[in-house]
Structures are given as structure tokens and as C-alpha cells.
């Protein structure tokens, strides 16, 4: 075991794409969506995955306000995490731009990149539309 965070190539590429304003997801020939890193479609096992543009706006389908964080998010609490439905894929991230207790399912959000207060790590951030 090492404390050195291994660069997760596929996931970091995903974060880079969001940061550049061109978020994408992986789509198989059957139209199943998934997020990087993937070599095969998790739904049907197809290995021909292409990159498709992620819809600009997603909808919060589940959320949770975190008061007792892992060490990585120690200085971020309280904060809200959410699962956001972008149609073909769901993306998990932190909601910013409103009080954690004001986050509601059904809210429309856009995706961007932020940094944790704790150590400056990049993370997926959702902001209200
Ligand atoms: Zn598939």
C-alpha cells in the first residue's frame, strides 16, 4: 500500500475534459452510456466504445449532506454530494453554489471542476442552473 495517489488515467481524462468544457461519456453501439475509465460496456460487454458529448444540464436524482467526512474532505464539511442524471449516464459529485440543505432532487445543474478545500484535489462539481 502506498499513500501516493495513483493517477487514474481514464478518470483524470474525464476531469480534464470537463475542465476544458467538453465533458463526454462513453457510448457503446447499443447506446448504453458509461463513464471513463471503461474498456467494455458495463451493460452488454461491447468493446467498441466511442466518446459522446455529455448533455450540458443534468438533474439531481439523489443527494446526501455530509457532516462527517473522510480525511480528504475534512475542511469541506458540511457539503452536499449528489448523483446527477445526464440521460445516458449518472455522475456523482459535490454540489456548490447553494447551501447544502437547500439541495433538492429534481434540481437542474451543470457540471464543472472544483478543488477540495482540504487538499486542493480536483473533483466533479455541480452548480445550479
Ligand atoms: Zn452496451
* 14 CA → ligand 1 middle, Å: 19
* Sheet of strand 24-27, all strands in order from the earlier edge strand to the far edge: 33-34, 24-27, 50-53
Regarding whether 45 and 67 lie in a shared domain, the answer is no
Ligand 1: centre distance to CA 28 (Å)? 5
Statement to judge: residues 66 and 107 lie in one domain: yes
Report the pLDDT value the prediction gives residue 2, as an integer from 0 to 100. Answer: 42
pTM over 0.95: no
Looking at every residue in the chain, the average pLDDT score rounds to: 91
pLDDT in tens, 25-71: 999 999 999 998 889 999 999 999 999 999 999 999 999 999 888 88
Domain that holds residue 28: 1-54
What is the rounded average pLDDT of the residues 109-114? 97
Shared-domain flag, residues 19 and 31? yes
- The reply to whether 73 and 114 lie within a common domain is yes
**pLDDT confidence of residue 6:** 56
Number of folded domains that form the chain: 2
User: Rounded distance, CA 96 to CA 60, Å?
Assistant: 13
In this structure, the answer to whether residues 15 and 64 fall within a common structural domain is no
Distance in Å, CA 33 to ligand 1 centroid: 7
Amino acid at each position: 500500500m502506498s499513500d501516493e495517489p495513483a493517477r487514474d488515467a481514464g478518470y483524470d481524462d474525464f476531469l480534464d475534459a470537463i475542465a476544458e468544457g467538453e465533458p463526454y461519456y462513453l457510448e457503446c453501439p447499443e447506446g448504453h452510456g458509461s463513464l471513463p475509465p471503461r474498456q467494455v460496456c458495463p451493460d452488454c460487454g461491447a468493446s467498441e466504445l466511442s466518446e459522446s458529448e455529455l448533455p450540458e444540464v443534468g438533474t439531481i436524482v439523489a443527494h446526501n449532506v455530509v457532516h462527517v467526512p473522510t480525511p480528504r474532505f475534512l475542511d469541506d464539511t458540511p457539503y452536499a454530494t449528489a448523483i446527477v442524471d445526464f440521460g445516458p449516464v449518472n455522475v456523482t459529485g459535490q454540489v456548490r453554489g447553494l447551501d447544502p440543505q437547500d439541495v433538492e432532487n429534481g434540481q437542474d445543474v451543470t457540471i464543472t471542476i472544483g478543488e477540495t478545500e482540504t487538499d486542493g484535489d480536483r473533483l466533479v462539481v455541480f452548480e445550479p442552473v
